[in-house]
Homo-oligomer: A and B are copies of this chain.
Amino acid sequence: MFTVAELAARVGGEVHGDAHLALKGAATLDAAGPDQLAFFGDPRYRKAFEATAAGAVLVPRSLGGVPGRTVVAVDVPQVAFARLLPLFHPEQRPPAGIREGAFVDPSASVDATATVFPGAYVAAGASVGPRSVLHPGAFVGEGAQVGADSTLHPNVVIRERCLVGDRVILHAGVVIGADGFGFAFDPSVPAHVKIPQVGIARVEDDVEIGANSCVDRATTGETVVGRGTKIDNLVQLAHNVRVGPLSILCAQAGVSGSTELGAGVLLAGQVGVVGHIRVGDRARIGAQSGVAHDVEEGATLSGTPAVPHREWLRNAAAMGQLATLVKEVRALRRRVTELEESRDGDG
């Protein structure tokens, strides 16, 4: 139980209404009851805000007080909500230690405050930092390093020599550092000859990667996922890709080899990006788009091949008229021919 005043203090908010009200949970505007906290950030949800049964609501400072309601005015309601929600759902860190049934090579270094569950595996020369947790089936390869406060959910695989920073969350089934997809075709055999992938993958601090996503190791050098970037499930990052900090890559997106995404880039779901290009900072790519060329900073693209979003909308609308257009052009051609004949007849 937290009073509205206590909650407001934690996020630098200003209370309008009953500061002493005790809350015991948090939920959306629709679902929250009188002992719960909700948030109202997007003006589109005004009706839900007006109708909510929530005991208190986080609102933008611009809104200020609301008669008959207890509100907490903050800079960004959703951010404040995200920071307060864990209070009501405290995560229990598992007790530290290497559990029986975990496999830790004698030459590996596992911090005394880390947890290694049964069925997890830490190979020779690998290291796991303070308070990190390796769930069952997690694998840390030879010489790989995991920083502090990171979580490897069940069956995460980090291949040899790869680097994972602090406060990283890798969801179940993530594979870091599988071999990049590189072959040279030898027509004399014939065979696709494997190009050894001797580089690594590096995942910087505060990154989160969704279930069953893959970040391949570099041919030489590094594949990099930049600080604070968040990646959804089933995403593919090929060898030598570099993703800048604070980017967002939605589910099932794929980025081909050696492409560089800038800072704060957004790839929506199922986007594909070809290899060897650069997507500029803060570029936003619409769902299912196919990006085949460099993208400028701040651009918003959609479609395959991707074009500026407004243009794509226009084309998509025009597309709906395409069949009609074909008919119309055919009709026009007849009419023009007729006009020409009539003129020539006149002539």
Total contacting residues, chain A, CB less than 8 A: 109
Q: Does A68 contact B (CB under 8 A)?
A: no
Q: Is the CB of B228 within 8 A of A191?
A: yes
Query: Given A82-B183, A287-B274, A321-B326, are A234 and B214 also a contact pair (CB < 8 Å)?
Result: yes
Measured CB to CB, the nearest residue on chain B to A171 is B178
Q: Does A211 contact B (CB under 8 A)?
A: yes
A181 to B184, CA, bound (A): 34
Residues of B near A178 (CB, < 8 A) are 153, 171-172, 210-211, 233
Q: For residues 150 through 175 of chain A, which have their beta carbon under 8 Å from a beta carbon of chain B?
A: 153-155, 157, 159, 169, 171-173, 175
Q: Is the CB of A254 within 8 A of B269?
A: yes
Residues of B near A321 (CB, < 8 A) are 326
Interface string of A223-245 (1 = CB under 8 A from B): 00000101011101010000000
Residues of B near A332 (CB, < 8 A) are 329, 332-333, 336
A311 to B194, CA, bound (A): 34
- Identify which of B26, B157, B343 contacts A155 (C-beta below 8 A): B157
Q: Does A322 contact B (CB under 8 A)?
A: yes
Q: Does A109 contact B (CB under 8 A)?
A: no
Question: 25 A-B residue contacts at CB 8 Å?
Answer: A31-B220, A31-B221, A79-B185, A82-B194, A85-B198, A103-B136, A117-B121, A169-B179, A172-B175, A181-B210, A190-B246, A211-B214, A233-B236, A234-B236, A252-B252, A252-B254, A254-B270, A256-B269, A270-B290, A272-B287, A315-B320, A318-B322, A322-B322, A329-B332, A343-B343
Listed in ascending order, the chain A residues whose CB lies under 8 Å from chain B are: 26-28, 31, 75-76, 78-79, 81-83, 85-86, 88-89, 101, 103, 117-119, 121, 135-137, 139, 153-155, 157, 159, 169, 171-173, 175, 178-179, 181, 183-188, 190-196, 198, 206, 208, 210-212, 214, 216, 220-221, 228, 230, 232-234, 236, 238, 246, 248, 250-252, 254, 256, 269-270, 272, 274, 287-288, 290, 292, 304-305, 307, 311, 314-323, 325-326, 328-329, 332-333, 335-336, 339-340, 342-343
